[in-house]
Amino acid sequence: MGERREGVITACGCRRGPVRVSRRNLLAVLASGAALVACSENAATGRSQFAVVPDETLREMADQAWADLINQTPTSTDTAMQARLERVGRRIVQASGRTDLDWRFVVFDRPEINAFVLPNGKVAAFKGLMDFARDDDELAGVLGHEVGHILARHPAERVSQQLAVQVGVGVLQAILANGDYGQHAGEIAGALGMGAVYGVILPYSRNHELEADRLGVDLAQRAGLDPAGAIRFFERMAIEGRKQPEPPEVLSTHPADAHRLAVLKEAVAALPKG
């Protein structure tokens, strides 16, 4: 769940295009950060990450995106709904240990069943989602997922992948333009760019969603809530999703419903009992 706002990629993006930044800025970011963070290991996931964009940079971008959202989108006047989101969200944050961020949880008055997190710890939940989540356990499944994206540093990883593809394709296009294939350089680079999107970025995005699900159920349990709430929530979301056509998993940023539910059930079953 999540969404991309212009100029910043959120932890959990909907099916939208990549961030657009000038090539000069891309090269500067890659050159300055690659040696420091390109091969860092994430403590929450236990795997190494390609992340050349510093978290501080993402948080600065997210601050502006959040300010724009607050100015442009009406917030809910339902104080009980807002209090519920805040109560469950704070429990998840305490369980995560990431109390260093300036977390804020806001219900926006929109009907979509959706939520997203920004790299600066700002969490938006739409009224449609708040109405859809039947209890705190289901809501904890959603918020655990969103906080899980931050623990896993998915925003930095995803933006880094997109920047690397943009820069790599640009460099390749410049090389081709000076060779025998100069007149077709744009078409060749474009085709290779699409290959990178479908072969690298989208699979990583799907893996991010599954990784956040696993972290989310663990956070829900550590927060004293029922981690199976996530299963119940996404089972009903899957039913809701059948009302509209869904692209094949290979063309989607999100895993197929059946795959996602299977991974969720495995994750909940693997949690320590009692």
Question: Do β-strands 122-126 and 104-108 pair in parallel, antiparallel, or remain unpaired?
Answer: parallel
Provide the 3-class DSSP secondary structure of residue 147: helix
What's the rounded Cα separation, in Å, for the pair 274 and 266? 17
Q: What is the pLDDT along the chain (274 residues), one digit of tens a residue?
A: 644 333 333 344 333 333 344 444 444 444 444 434 455 677 776 667 666 677 788 788 888 888 988 999 999 999 999 999 999 999 999 999 999 999 999 999 999 998 988 888 999 999 999 999 999 999 999 999 999 988 988 787 877 767 665 655 454 445 445 555 445 444 434 444 444 344 433 444 778 889 999 999 999 999 999 999 999 999 998 888 776 655 443 334 455 788 889 999 999 999 998 6
Buried b or exposed e, range 119-138, using 16+ CB within 10 angstroms: bbbbbbbbbbbbebbeebbb
Q: Domain residues of the chain, as ranges?
A: 23-270
Residue labelled with tokens 């944050």: 93
Distances (CA, A) of 210 to 40, 99, 117, 259: 20, 24, 16, 9
